[in-house]
A and B are shown apart, each in its own frame.
Chain A
Amino acid sequence: MSVVTNIYAVLFYVATLVLVLGVGAKVASYARTPAPLKIPTMPAPLTKAGAAFRVGREVVIFESLFRSDKWLWLFAAMFHFGLLLVLLRHARYFVSSDFEPLWTLIVLVQPFGKYAAFAMVAGLLALLGRRFVLARVRYITQPSDVLMLLLLLGIGVTGACMTFVTHTDVVGVKSFFMGLMTLRWQPLPADPILLVHLACVAVLMMVFPISKLLHVPGIFFSPTRNQADDSRERRHLAPWAVRMDAERTN
C-alpha cells in the first residue's frame, strides 16, 4: 500500500473520530444545559409539535432568513441545497450497488447532484463577495469566516473539476472508502485534484466541532425557536432552580 493511501486512511479515521466525538460532546453539552426560562420569540406555536415544526421550517426553508434578507436567503439556499444534492450524490461511494432499493435512489439523484455543484459554488462565491462588498458584513467578518468559505470553495471547485474537466478513477475512490469502512484497506488513486479535494474535506470534518459550523446542531437547541408558547399553562422549572422554591417565605 502506498504512503499516500496510508496517510489518507489514517486522516479519514481521525477526521471521522474528531467529527463524531466533537459534535457529540457539543450536542451533549447543549442537551445537558437547561433553558431556565421560557423565551420563544413570539408569536410562537402553542404546542411542542408546533414548535418542532417551526424548527423544521428554519432548517429546511430558512424561514427567518427569508423574512430578513431575500438576497442572502437566495445565496444561502443555493449553497446549502446545492451541497445537500452533492452530498446525496456522494452516497454512491459509501453504499454497495447490491444494496436495493437505496441504490436505485442514489442512481436517480446523480444528475441532480452533478449540476447542483454549480449552485453550490455560485452560492459560495456570492457569500464570499458579500463579505467584501457590504460594509456592515465586512465589519463583522473575521479571518476564519473567509477561510471557511475558501475551504468550502476548495472542496466544491476540485469536486466539480473531477466531474466536468478531468475525471478521476471513481471506482478506485469507492473501493478506498468501502475498504476504510470494512477495515480492509484498498489503494487510493493518487490523483492530485482528488487528494486536494479529500484533504479539504478532512479539514472541514475536523474543524466542524470547533467552528461556526456548530450552527447545524445549534438550531435544534435554540430556545427562541424550539420552545412552545405555554408558560401560563405549564410551569417550567430548571433543575438548578428547583431548590429556590423552598427559599420562599410563603
Chain B
Amino acid sequence: MADFQIPVLSDEPAEFVPELQPGTMAHLRPFVAKPDHNVPLGFPGELVDDWKDKAIGRMGDLLNRYRSLRVYLDSCVKCGSCADKCHYFLGTNDPKNMPVARQDLLRSVYRRYFTTSGKLFGPLVGARDLTQEVLEEWYTYFHQCSQCRRCSVFCPYGIDTAEISMAARDIMDHVGYGMKYCNEIITKVHKIGNNLGLPGPALQDTLDGLEEDVKDGTGHDVKFPMDVKGAEVLLVTPSADFFAEPHVDGLIGYAKVFHQAGVSWTVSSYASEAGNFGMFIGSYEQMFKISNRIRKAALELGVKRIVFGECGHAWRVAYSFLNTYAGPWDFLDPRYPVPQHILEFTNDLIRNGGIRLDKDANSGMVLTVHDSCNVARASRMGNVPGGQFSVPRDVIRACVPKFVDMHPDTIHDKTFCCGGGGGLLTDDLMELRVKGAKPRMEALKQVIEQQGVTHMAAMCAICKSQFTKVLPYYGMKMDMIVSVHGLVSNAIQLGVNKD
C-alpha cells in the first residue's frame, strides 16, 4: 500500500517521545511551482539568479512588517518545551521537525545577516550563511509544517512556528521557489472562483442535483440557491463541500438548517470558496485579495449576514483576519457577528428551539470529535473563550445518542493536527501526511477500543479529506469520518412546527 513505513500506533496517546532519527524526512518535498502558477500571483516564474540577495532583502522587509517574526526570531532560548509537541516530529522522528529546530533553519540566517551576535560570533551562536543547501533545507522542512500552532501553546514566550514558516514560504515565493500545490490553487481561485476550479455553471448543476436528492430523500423542498440577490445570508463554504465525501453531507445539513429556520441564503459563484490559501504561503497581499472577493460578493448580492461553512483555516482567516482585510462591515446587519460560523448559527437555533433534532436518526453511532487546529487555536465560536470547543460538542451531543472525548492531551487547544493542514494536502506529500496523522490516530484508536467509538466528526474540509485518505493506512475505515453537519442533516426534523 505504501512505499514507506507506516508508524506503529502506541497505546498511550501523547506520552511517547521518539528517538531522534536525523534525516528521515530529508527526501520528501512537494513539487516546485511552475511559472504558470507563480507569475499570475506576482512572483518570479522560477528561481531567480540573485535569489540570495533577494531572499535576504525580503526577510528584511518582513522583519519590518511583522512584529511576531522579529520578536520570535530573537526570543527563543532553546529550552525544548516545544520539541516533543509537533505531530510531524512525533510521527517522523526527524529532529528537524521539532518546532525549535524548524525555526532555527530560518533563525540561523537571520542571526547571520541581521544580528550583531551573528556577525561577531557566527557558528558560536548558530549563525550560518544562506547557501543553496540552506535554501533546499527551507524548501523541505518549511513544507513539513502544517502551521497548526500546537507549539505556540506550549512555548513560554508564545513563539508561533506558523509565523516563521509563513515568512519562510513568503521569502521562497519572492525568489521564485514556491510550492506548486498552493500557488496553483490560488491561481484557480482568482481565475475561476474556487480552489477546485469548479466553474459557475457546473456549480449550478451540482446544487440543482443536491436539491433533487434531498427532495427524493425527504420530500421537502430544501433549496440550494446560488447568486440570489437580496438573500439574508451569504454562505461561504469550502468548495470540497460541493461534492467530496463526507463534506457534501455537511452542506446538505447547512441547507436543511437554513430551510427549517426559514432564513433565505445563497452561495456566490464569484466567491465560491471559503478557503484562503494565501495564509499557507504567508502572503498578506494574497490573503487580502482572496478575502475581498467575499466583500465584493456580499455587496453585490445585498446580503445582511455572512456565514462560513465547516473549514478550519478558512475560519481562522474569517474570524481573525476578515475584519482586517475586508472590513468594515457597516453594510451588514449589526445584530450578528461578522462573520458567523455555521456551527454558531445552528447551535443558536438548537438552543432557542428554532430547529428540532432526533438523536434516533443517528442511533448506533458513538461519536468523538476532532478539534481542528485553526478552529481550536486560532479562532473562536460563540461569546466566551473556549466556545470553539463547546459549540461543536453541544451540536454533536444534540444529534447523537453517545459522545465521548479523546485523550485530554489531544483535544481542545492541545489538539493534534490531522496531518494535512497548512497547504500540505497534496499527494506528493503522502508519506508526511500518513506519519503526521499518527498522534491523532493513536488517540482515536484508544477511544475506539475502550469506549466503542464508531465515528469521528470533523469540522474542516482539509481534516475530512486528510482522514478519509489516511485512516485506511492505519487499518481504520475511511467512512468513519463524518461532517458535524452531516450528523445534523440526519437528525434534523424537517417540517416540524416551531414553538
Residues of A within 8 A of B (CB): 26, 29-30, 33-39, 41-46, 58, 62, 64-65, 67-69, 72, 76, 130, 134-137, 139-145, 147, 207, 210-212, 214-215, 218-219, 221-225, 229, 231-232, 234-238, 240-241, 244, 248-250
Contacts and interface: CB of A to CB of B under 8 A. Distances in A.
A43 B388 contact: yes
Interface string B1-20: 00000000000000001011
Interface in B353-401: 376-380, 385-386, 388-389
A241 B284 contact: yes
Given A140-B83, A144-B124, 16 more contacts: A33-B65, A33-B66, A34-B67, A64-B81, A65-B81, A69-B80, A134-B80, A136-B98, A144-B126, A210-B120, A214-B74, A215-B75, A218-B157, A222-B75, A232-B323, A235-B327
Contacts of A67: 153-154
Contact of B160 (A69, A224, A238, A241): A224
Contacts of A37: 284, 320-321, 324
Contact of B159 (A29, A140, A144, A222): A222
Nearest to A29: B70
B421 to A, nearest CB: 16
Interface string B104-138: 10000000000111001101111000000000000
Contacts of A140: 78, 80, 83, 95, 98, 100-101, 104
B116 A210 contact: yes
Nearest to A45: B385
B296 A249 contact: yes
Interface in B72-90: 72, 74-85
Nearest to B162: A39
B155 interface: yes
Given A219-B75, A231-B319, A236-B323, A39 B81 contact: no
A13 to B, nearest CB: 20
Interface residues of B, number: 78
Contact of A221 (B71, B386, B388): B71
A207 B117 CA distance: 8
B456 to A, nearest CB: 22
A206 to B, nearest CB: 11
Say whether chain B's binding surface is mostly helix, strand, loop, or mixed.
Answer: helix
Interface in B198-248: none
Interface of B: 17, 19-20, 22, 63-68, 70-72, 74-85, 95, 98, 100-101, 104, 115-117, 120-121, 123-126, 149, 152-160, 163, 284-285, 288, 292, 295-296, 299-300, 319-321, 323-324, 327-328, 337-339, 376-380, 385-386, 388-389, 413
A225 B157 contact: yes
B459 to A, nearest CB: 15
Nearest to A37: B321
10 contacts: A38-B321, A41-B413, A65-B79, A139-B95, A140-B101, A142-B78, A147-B124, A222-B75, A223-B67, A223-B158
A139 B20 contact: yes
B34 to A, nearest CB: 28
B119 to A, nearest CB: 10
Contacts of B328: 235
A222 B157 contact: yes
B323 A30 contact: no
Contact of B64 (A33, A64, A137): A33
Smallest CB-CB A-B distances: 10 pairs? A218-B75, A43-B385, A224-B158, A68-B154, A225-B158, A210-B117, A142-B126, A137-B80, A222-B158, A65-B156
